[in-house]
Amino acid sequence: MKRHEVLNWASSFLTKKGREPLAGELLLRHVLGDMSRTELLLGLDEELLPKQQEVFEAAVQKHGDGVPVQYIIGFEEFYGRRFSVNKEVLIPRPETEELVYEVLQRSMMRFPGIEEIQTVDVGTGSGAIAITLALENSRFSVTTIDIAEESLEVAKKNAENLEASVRFIHGDLLQPLIKGGEKADIVVSNPPYIPDREIMELETIVKDQEPFRALSGGEDGYVFYRRFMEELPLVLNKQSIVAFEVGHDQGQTVAEMLRVTFPGSVVSVVKDISQKERMVIAEIGFK
């Protein structure tokens, strides 16, 4: 079959399965050797080799059964870079790129004269946040923490592939820094924040495929934010930034938590490109 024929088949098949039909294009580009979209479109009349067609059809079937495209092809793009992903890590989302952007912008305003900004990413998963921060700003000295060794292995591989200098620690939230007496200028996190009762309502492609530990925010979705309020005061420097990603309806609650924990701080609830409140930023100790 020609490329346009298998794409038409994939689009129809995935639509019937309730999946995004354009996923077929991503899968075909991968099967053809990570071909660019332009190259694919210029050669739509070219025939696939029998083995290529077999592999492509199997990949489409797998996605139709609920496996995310990113787990099939083995990567996701984040901030212009390719990050390896598997079932041990949450797939990086576009809104998290906006969290990274906010941290980069505010650090330039708040720490203009500091040569080394001690930055901590909690719950690193694939390492997308930590690695991007380290590569985008050479002044960032980045430490990242995750409770899952399996996730850390993925993140370490990504750091190696992208030549990023990041320190990895296996541990629970900020406990390793507290025990070591370490301080931070910036703490950033995209913690699990989905209430347990809502996880079962998610699409099967998420709830049945991505790691539960990266989704579950406890009974009400705030368990990790409450723990942060206990631990952050023990590690933050007098002048510091805290940046969280939150659920679309959690921004005001998390912002109030930060205001109570850090009286006098400037706390902002920031909307993403879809106009949903998805980030909460606290700037602490600045005049």
List the binding residues for S-adenosyl-L-methionine. Answer: 123-127, 146, 190
Sheet containing strand 117-122, edge to edge, reads 166-170, 140-146, 117-122, 184-189, 236-245, 277-284, 266-271
- Binding-site residue numbers for substrate are 190-193
Count other C-beta atoms under 10 Å from residue 149's C-beta: 9
Rounded CA separation 125/132 (Å): 13
Rounded CA separation 156/165 (Å): 10
- In the block, which residue shows the tokens 């019937």? 16
- Binding-site residue numbers are 123-127, 146, 190-193
CA distances from 270 to 151, 213, 224, 285, 286 (A): 28, 25, 20, 20, 19
195 neighbors 218 (Cβ within 8 angstroms):
yes
Strand spans (E) along the chain: 75-78, 81-84, 117-122, 140-146, 166-170, 184-189, 236-245, 266-271, 277-284
Nearest CA among 106, 119, 114, 116 for reference residue 145: 119
Rounded CA separation 269/248 (Å): 11
Rounded CA separation 211/124 (Å): 13
Strand partners, 244: 189, 280
Is 116 exposed, middle or buried, given 0-12, 13-18 or 19+ CB atoms closer than 10 A?
exposed
146 neighbors 152 (Cβ within 8 angstroms):
yes
